[in-house]
Amino acid sequence: MTEILVLVDHLDGEVKKVTFELLTLARRFGDAAAVWIGPGYEGAKDKLAEYGAAKVYVAADEELTSYVVAPKAEVLAQLVSEKSPAAVLVSATAEGKEVAGRLAIKIDSGVLTDVVDVAEGFVGEHSIFGGAIIAQAKVRSGTPIIAVRPNAVAVEAAPSSPAEEQVSVALTDAAKSAKVVEKVVQEKGERPDLTEAAIVVSGGRGVGGAENFSIIEGLADSLGAAVGASRAATDAGWYPHQFQVGQTGKTVSPQLYIAVGISGAIQHRAGMQTSKTIVAINKDAEAPIFELVDYGVVGDLFQVAPQLTEEVNKRK
Amino acid sequence: MNIVVCVKQVPDTESPRKLKSDDKTLDRGAADGVINELDEYAIEEALSIKEAHGGEVTVLTMGPDKALDSIRKALAMGVDKAVHLVDDALTGSDALQTSYAIQQVLAKTGFDVVILGSESTDARTGVLAAMLAERLGVPQLSQAKKVEIDGSAIAIQRQTDYGYDRVEAALPAVVSVVEKINEPRYPSFKGIMAAKKKPVEVLSAAAAGIDTAKVGLANAATEVIEFAEAPPREQGQIVKDEGDGGVKLAEFLAAKKFV
Output the CA–CA distances (angstroms, integers) from residue A287 to A7, A278, A281, B35, in the order listed. 41, 14, 10, 27
Phi, psi of A52, deg, nearest 5: 90, 25
A3-176 and A199-315: identical CATH topology: yes
For residue A249, the Cα-to-chain-centroid distance in whole angstroms is 12
Task: Determine which of B162, B174, B244 to mutate to test the interface with A (most A C-beta atoms within 10 Å).
Answer: B162
Nearest Cα residue to A71 out of A33, A108, A98: A98
Q: Which residues make Cβ contacts (< 8 Å) with residue B207, sequence separation at least 6?
A: none
Q: Sign of dihedral through CA atoms A118, A119, A122, A128? A: negative
User: Inter-chain contact B131–A101, Cβ cutoff 8 Å?
Assistant: yes
DSSP string, A293-305: -SEEEES-HHHHH
- The DSSP call for residue B226 is E
Domain ranges of chain A: 3-176, 199-315
pLDDT tens column, A198-216? 999 999 999 999 999 999 9
Percentage helix, strand, coil for chain B under 3-state DSSP, each rounded to 5 = 30, 30, 40
User: Inter-chain contact A174–B138, Cβ cutoff 8 Å?
Assistant: yes
To the nearest whole angstrom, how far is the Cα of B198 from the nearest Cα of chain A?
30
User: Inter-chain contact A298–B237, Cβ cutoff 8 Å?
Assistant: no
Residues of B in contact with A247 (CB under 8 A): 13, 37, 121, 124
Task: Determine which of B24, B119, B259 to mutate to test the interface with A (most A C-beta atoms within 10 Å).
Answer: B259
User: Inter-chain contact B258–A255, Cβ cutoff 8 Å?
Assistant: yes
User: Which residues pair with residue A136 across a beta bridge?
Assistant: A125, B226
User: Is the confidence at residue B176, as pLDDT, over 70?
Assistant: yes
Nearest to A295 among B142, B240, B252 (CB): B252
pLDDT tens column, A166-209? 999 999 999 999 999 999 998 667 899 999 999 999 999 999 99
The fold of the B2-231 domain, in CATH, is Rossmann fold (3.40.50)
pTM given for the model:
0.94
pLDDT tens column, A23-46? 999 999 999 999 999 999 999 999
The fold of the A3-176 domain, in CATH, is Rossmann fold (3.40.50)
Q: What is the pLDDT of residue B47?
A: 98
> Counting Cβ atoms within 10 Å, is residue A48 exposed (0-12), middle (13-18) or buried (19+)?
buried
Specify whether domain A199-315 bears CATH 1.10.510.10. Answer: no
Domain ranges of chain B: 2-231
User: In this structure, are residues A196 and A151 in contact, taking their beta carbons and an 8 Å threshold?
Assistant: yes
Residues A116-137 have a mean pLDDT of 92
Q: What is the pLDDT of residue B32?
A: 85
Q: Which residue of A has its CA nearest to B36?
A: A248
Q: How far apart are CA B122 and CA B215, in angstroms?
A: 20
Nearest Cα residue to B144 out of B98, B105, B181, B182: B181
